[in-house]
Amino acid sequence: MIKAKNVNKFFYVPEKIQALNNVSCEVKPGEVVVIIGPSGSGKSTFLRCLNRLEFADSGEITIDGENVLDGNVDINKVRAEAGMVFQSFNLFPHKTVLENLVMAPMMVRGKGRKECEELGMKLLKKVGIDAKWNAHPDQLSGGQQQRVAIARALCMEPKVMLFDEPTSALDPEMVGEVLDVMKALARSGMTMVVVTHEMGFAREVADRVIFMDAGTIIEEGTPEHFFDNPTNERAKLFLSQIL
């Protein structure tokens, strides 16, 4: 479903750094891959390259066979297939919850309002927040807003979901409700790439864990391998600091 091969990405401001150094990774349909690693290791940059929020400098990226780095590809279509959920919820503040869900599928997919609203309500129910369909984002808690953000991404009917530290900005008591939604999504067969520091989630849900450091994947394996038997010294050190 996702194929990344030798992906490189440089930033030149404030100084030249290589954010991604020959990153290769494949994700099969229905697979849940968790990416962990220290701050600044390139996790967000990698996710952002997958749906071209950042343009990789070299390498190959395909999502469901679609060449993301082809300048002629319809990038809105690529992004429609790769839903993204960020640390900050990024809901449209002046729109209701349901309106937040239906805007993109109407504009990008060209679907009718009624069809989108029906799917939207179904998804809001799935994330447990359908009662708030007519509320505005500022009337919701952080956990509720993030669940709406997940439902909004799903309303595009993406083939993969990318999560970038979706619970990092939440008060601790709200982390669980968002992780529960993500676990249910994983069980439903969604292909997911999740950047998170929630090791319990990684252990329970991940099919594979990827550890990044300094723009490179330095360890990759099952959660059991990664948590109980990491071979890389930097991965060991990182785990000892957070577990």
Task: Summarize as ranges the residues that interact with Mg ion (CB under 5 A).
Answer: 44
CB of 169 to ligand ADP, least distance (A): 14
CB of 75 to ligand ADP, least distance (A): 18
> Which one of residues 1, 19, 156, 160 is an interface residue with ligand ADP (CB under 6 A)?
19
Using the rule CB under 6 A, is 221 a contact of ligand ADP?
no
Nearest distance, CB of residue 21 and Mg ion, angstroms: 16
Q: Which is nearer to Mg ion, 165 or 219 (CB)?
A: 165
- Of these, 10, 11, 52, 142, which contacts ligand ADP (CB under 6 A)? 11
Write down the least CB distance from residue 239 to ligand ADP, Å.
16
Based on CB atoms, which residue is closest to ligand ADP, 146 or 196?
Answer: 196
Least Å from the CB of residue 204 to ligand ADP: 22
Q: Distance (Å, rounded) from C-alpha 129 to C-alpha 85?
A: 17
Residue 16 contacts ligand ADP per CB under 6 A: no
Q: What is the 3-state secondary structure (H, E, C) of the chain?
A: CEEEEEEEEEECCCCCEEEEEEEEEEECCCCEEEEECCCCCCHHHHHHHHCCCCCCCEEEEEECCEECCCCCCCHHHHHHHEEEECCCCCCCCCCCHHHHHHHHHHHCCCCCHHHHHHHHHHHHHHCCCHHHCCCCHHHCCHHHHHHHHHHHHHCCCCCEEEEECCCCCCCHHHHHHHHHHHHHHHHCCCEEEEECCCHHHHHHHCCEEEEEECCEEEEEECHHHHHHCCCCHHHHHHHHHHC
Interface mask toward ligand ADP for 27-66; x: CB under 6 A: ----------x-xxxxxxx---------------------
Q: Please give the residue ranges that form the binding site for ligand ADP (CB under 6 A).
A: 11, 13, 17, 19, 37, 39-45
